[in-house]
Amino acid sequence: MRNIDFIKTQSQVIELLRFPLIVLVVFVHMLPFEQKELYPNLDANNVYNTITEIISHYLGRLPVPCFFLFSGYFFFYKITEWSTHIYTSQLKKRVKSLLKPYLCWNIIYVLVIYLKNVLFYSLGRGFDESYEELCTLSLYDIFVRLPINYPLWYLRDLIAMTILTPLFYYYFKYTKAIGLLASLIIYLSTFESGIPGLSTTAIFYFGLGAFLGQFKYNMLKFVIPYGKIASILAIIALGITTYYTASEANEYWLRVFLVFGIVSALFTGCLCTNYISLKNKLISLAPTVFFIYGLHMIYILGWFKGGLAKSFLGVSDYGKLLGYFIIPPLCIGLILILYKLMKRFLPQTLNFITGNR
């Protein structure tokens, strides 16, 4: 193993991965949640479905576990002994970095839906589906069950995990690796309680990060020696997952893929640190990630997708495939322009809605 500063390199790997991961999140929302059946042929529609399913529904599932892992790790890494003071101090920090942005982005979405529909109604247009759905929702639906800005379910679950951190601390203090194995088994079983905020994805991956942080493990000391074999296993699991698309076995194999896929993602990030210009560029984009995350589903991506459907690209499967790869960069590019404008003219507002990231 080459001589490296594991602490510094691990921090760089996590930072440079943030932007590629949020790009994958945008690709996730290019497709509906429902999976389409795939067939072993080169029909244009099947080629489109296969490529988009793999990216949006499989590779696109990697970001959320990664972000839970990072959050759990950094929450516990500097904690040597648990206390009420530490807990309340950490909660106060998360009110600023998690709760306030969570509420803000949901409120922003509600306001945008309302203002857009008021404007269109004044121009003689009818109300859209978003407004009609909003009128049927309770505050619980808007801020907890859904939430209205759907990608924020991750933030909702992260807030829940933060509240439950004393349980994670004492659970791993007494059960150690056995407790981690038990949570892995529950996660791989695909069991879900259905309680908002308590997904097994959040519990396992935040818990994995908590375990590694609590016992002061450096992730790269595992990732570097086992990264290649994990990548091979991830590719195999991805192939099996794709084979079982739109079947009951799909979710089981997908979760197996994600376990190996996260190791592979960290290994890839570690390799990227060897390319200085690439590393620096990705790290420089990391502060924009939360803004992209909160904003992309507030009509912007939907408008781009609507434009694709009405364009000449929307009439053929290969045209749609080309549009599938064009739209996310356009969407992200527009959001980056808005980010720079806010950073220049409304820096305090930007800091508030992004939790000072």
pLDDT at 338: 98
pLDDT at 5: 87
Tell me which DSSP letter residue 58 carries: I
Written as one letter, the residue type at 92 is K
**Number of C-beta neighbours around residue 157 at 10 A:** 21
Give pLDDT tens digits for 23-46.
999 999 999 999 999 999 999 999
Q: Has residue 229 been placed in a domain?
A: yes
Record the pTM.
0.96
Q: Percent of the chain, pLDDT > 70?
A: 99
If phi over 0 gives left and psi between -120 and 50 gives alpha, with beta otherwise, what is residue 194?
A: left
CA separation for the pair 282, 133 (Å, rounded): 38
Rounded to an integer, the average pLDDT of 267-282 is 97
Q: Locate all alpha helices (DSSP H) within the chain, ordered by sequence.
A: 6-28, 44-52, 63-77, 84-94, 100-122, 129-134, 139-140, 153-163, 165-188, 200-214, 220-243, 250-272, 276-285, 289-295, 300-310, 317-345, 347-353
Q: Has residue 308 been placed in a domain?
A: yes
Give pLDDT tens digits for 185-215.
999 999 999 999 999 999 999 999 999 999 9
CA separation for the pair 269, 233 (Å, rounded): 18
Q: Has residue 336 been placed in a domain?
A: yes
Q: Do 353 and 105 form a contact (C-beta atoms < 8 A)?
A: yes
Give pLDDT tens digits for 70-98.
999 999 999 989 999 999 999 999 999 99
Cis amide leading into 147 (omega within 30): yes
CA separation for the pair 88, 102 (Å, rounded): 19
Task: Give how far the C-alpha of residue 11 lies from the chain's centroid of Cα atoms, to the nearest Å.
Answer: 18
Rounded to an integer, the average pLDDT of 229-251 is 98
**Residue 155 structural domain:** 6-353
Q: Has residue 260 been placed in a domain?
A: yes
**Number of C-beta neighbours around residue 263 at 10 A:** 20
Number of domains in the chain: 1
pLDDT at 181: 98
Q: Do 183 and 69 form a contact (C-beta atoms < 8 A)?
A: no
Rounded to an integer, the average pLDDT of 213-223 is 97
Q: Has residue 1 been placed in a domain?
A: no
pLDDT at 274: 95
Helix axes 6-28, 250-272, angle to 10 degrees: 130
Q: Do 13 and 275 form a contact (C-beta atoms < 8 A)?
A: no
Instruction: Kindly report the average pLDDT of the chain as a whole number.
Output: 97
Between the alpha carbon of residue 329 and those of residues 10, 55, 281, 335, the distances in Å are 27, 15, 16, 10
Give pLDDT tens digits for 97-131.
999 999 999 999 999 999 999 999 999 888 999 99
pLDDT at 3: 54
pLDDT at 1: 45
Residue with structure tokens 């390799």?
Answer: 271
pLDDT at 2: 53
Q: Do 29 and 151 form a contact (C-beta atoms < 8 A)?
A: yes
